[in-house]
Amino acid sequence: MGMKPWLLTLFSAGTLVAAMAPADDAEALKQALALQTVMQKVIAESEPGIACILVSRSDAYRRVGQGPAQDHTGRLGSFDPAALDHLPLKKDERDRLRKILDLAHPETVPEAYGSGVVLSAQGLVLTSYHVVRDAAKVFVRLPGGKGSYADIHAADPRSDLAVLRLLSSKTLPVRPLPLGDGGKLERGQFVLSLANPFAAGFRDGQPSASWGIISNLRRRASGLKREEDGFKTLHHYGTLVQLDARLNLGCSGGALVNIKGEVVGLTTSWAGIHGGETPGGFAIPFDAGMRRIIDVLLRGEEVEYGFLGVGFQDRPLEQGGGVVLSHVTPGSPAELEAKLRVNDVILAVNQTPVRDGDDLFLALGTHLAGARVRLEVRRSGGGISTVEATLSKFYVPGKKIYSSLGKRPFFRGLRVDYTSILGQQPPRHLRIPAGVLVSEVLPNSPAATVQLKPGEVVTHVNGRAVFSPASFYAATGGLKGAVELTLAGPSPHDPPAKVMLQ
């Protein structure tokens, strides 16, 4: 049986529509033209929210006094080419520097590039982390040629997502795009990609459009793990949407749009990044878990991934699914709250079935630290029960950038974090200590005066036990006068110490 005429029309509209004349193809032609009109409308309405991201990692900005801020890794600032005129430079050198450093000039060819999606009228642009990693300057050009230098508002290596903040958003026609539910994508669904392959829009900011179907779901990334970081992204556990069109370099950070005009994912040029050939392109879908991460980044905060505290066998069970636990970290939520034991089997997280270790990593990771999760567990004795636990924090190496302290302000010169990260990085603690970890101490602050240091553990505030950053800030909120902190000893056998913060 041959392919139906209307299917042929949809898949080859560009070549068949003009040739169609018979009356029996009139309906097929009508459908093809209707689809074409929908696609053109979506492209026209989405294009103003697609950005071309131009990136420089040159050390020359610092040499000419316009480098990134020393005290904030995301504050990159703008570039003033006129400032070069006041430096003791020869004309040839001045012209050379202006040519390579002035990303705002439409003829400056960037050394690195990508795409971005405008998500806020305040000038917040979502892109891929790897696009702006180690950037010295970032310039965002919008369709029509206008643009702005940008700071990195927040960036997270584990999700490979970053949010930029335009420095001149008030003078630009910034149009945020509506977000759709990437968790409802299905194989065979029509989608469009709007991005800047090979920085094609670096002069005028106009993105290129392509369209096709969703080829597959829950694809795993290969490669991309940076050896110096020593960790996998979330996408190594099976988050990616596969498209039937290959995406070239520069497409990372572009928009995956459904035919309703909603952005349902962020495209990524996976093949070009790690130097391999792949069947089609990939995108990060904006499902519920990824939307939680994006919301944190839009607030300018650090993404804190959930940590339960279990190890498991790599091989999945042949019958019934689930993950068999081979280790339960002492002092973790798995031990203290869920009461999990070795040989227990986790069957589901928040009613989502767990088939293997990747499923478990993904379910816990996208439920962020502090979230309450419900676990369906088959005990080693055979019975099935439902238990709950509040997730602690998963340790993520690599450079994280966040512009807002969010719910973690400095209290008299110190900030705290989850102690769970002590059990996940060398030297590992055999047991996660109770309390909160001192993560930062400001110089010349009350905390520095009493010689508090990062790495110490606070167990009590004025005699009140604290067990998470939220409980610490609840205990210190509104306190005036001297505050007594109880510190855990260097080892479990050492007595606690007390300090007074004025």
The reported pLDDT for the residue numbered 319 is: 65
The DSSP line for 36-54 is HHHHHHHHHHHGGGEEEEE
The answer to whether residue 398 is domain-embedded is no
Query: 3-class SS at 261?
Result: coil
pLDDT tens, per residue, the chain with 502 residues = 343 333 433 444 444 444 445 655 788 888 888 889 999 999 999 999 999 999 999 999 999 999 998 878 899 999 999 999 989 989 999 999 999 999 999 999 888 999 999 999 899 999 999 999 999 999 999 998 899 999 999 999 999 999 999 998 877 878 899 999 999 999 999 999 999 988 787 888 889 999 889 999 988 876 544 434 456 788 888 889 999 877 878 889 999 999 999 999 999 875 444 444 555 689 999 999 999 999 999 999 999 999 999 998 766 666 667 899 999 999 999 999 999 999 999 999 999 999 888 889 888 888 999 999 999 999 977 789 999 999 999 998 888 899 988 778 899 999 999 999 987 876 666 789 999 999 999 999 999 999 999 999 999 999 999 999 999 999 999 899 999 999 998 877 788 999 999 8
For residue 470, what is the enclosing H or E element? helix 469-476
The reported pLDDT for the residue numbered 272 is: 44
What pTM was computed for the model?
0.88
CATH of the domain at 450: 2.30.42.10
Instruction: Tell me the residue type at 456.
Output: E
Residues 158, 214: one domain? no
The answer to whether residue 176 is domain-embedded is no
The reported pLDDT for the residue numbered 275 is: 46
The answer to whether residue 329 is domain-embedded is yes
Residue 477 sits at φ, ψ, to 5 deg, of -60, 125
Q: How far apart are CA 279 and CA 237, in angstroms?
A: 19
Residues 386, 490: one domain? no
Alpha-carbon dihedral sign for residues 279, 280, 286, 290: positive
The answer to whether residue 319 is domain-embedded is yes
Residues 416, 472: one domain? yes
Residue 195, beta-bridge partner list: 208
Residues 190, 294: one domain? yes
Domain finish residue from 249, 270, 298: 298
H helix intervals, 224-303: 270-274, 288-298
Structure tokens, 412: 């008299």
The answer to whether the CB of 195 falls within 8 A of the CB of 247 is yes
**357-366 vs 288-298: helix crossing angle, rounded to 10:** 40
Structure tokens, 413: 């010169």
Q: Which among 2, 253, 1 has a CA at the least distance from the CA of 129?
A: 253
Residues 28, 91: one domain? no
The reported pLDDT for the residue numbered 425 is: 74
The reported pLDDT for the residue numbered 203 is: 85
The answer to whether residue 400 is domain-embedded is no
Q: How far apart are CA 201 and CA 477, in angstroms?
A: 50
Query: 3-class SS at 49?
Result: helix
Residues 463, 484: one domain? yes
The answer to whether the CB of 368 falls within 8 A of the CB of 234 is no
Residues 225, 320: one domain? no
Q: What is the 3-state secondary structure (H, E, C) of 319-359?
A: CCCCEEEEEECCCCHHHHCCCCCCCCEEEEECCEECCCHHH
CATH of the domain at 246: 2.40.10.10
The answer to whether residue 138 is domain-embedded is yes
Integer angstrom CA distances of residue 193 from 53, 116, 235, 448 = 16, 12, 19, 52
Considering its fold, how many domains does the chain have in total?
5
Domain finish residue from 171, 197, 216: 171
CA 463 to chain centroid, in Å, comes to 38
> For the purposes of burial, counting CB atoms within 10 Å of the CB of 444, is it exposed (0-12), middle (13-18) or buried (19 or more)?
exposed
For residue 139, what is the enclosing H or E element? strand 137-141
Residues 379, 452: one domain? no
The reported pLDDT for the residue numbered 24 is: 59
Domain that includes residue 492, residue range: 405-501
Residues 61, 164: one domain? yes
Residue 421 sits at φ, ψ, to 5 deg, of -70, -20
The answer to whether residue 106 is domain-embedded is yes
Domain finish residue from 393, 413, 431: 393
The reported pLDDT for the residue numbered 244 is: 87
The answer to whether residue 270 is domain-embedded is yes
Query: 3-class SS at 192?
Result: strand
Residues 198, 286: one domain? yes
Residues 92, 161: one domain? yes
Residues 42, 58: one domain? no
Query: 3-class SS at 194?
Result: strand
Query: 3-class SS at 111?
Result: coil
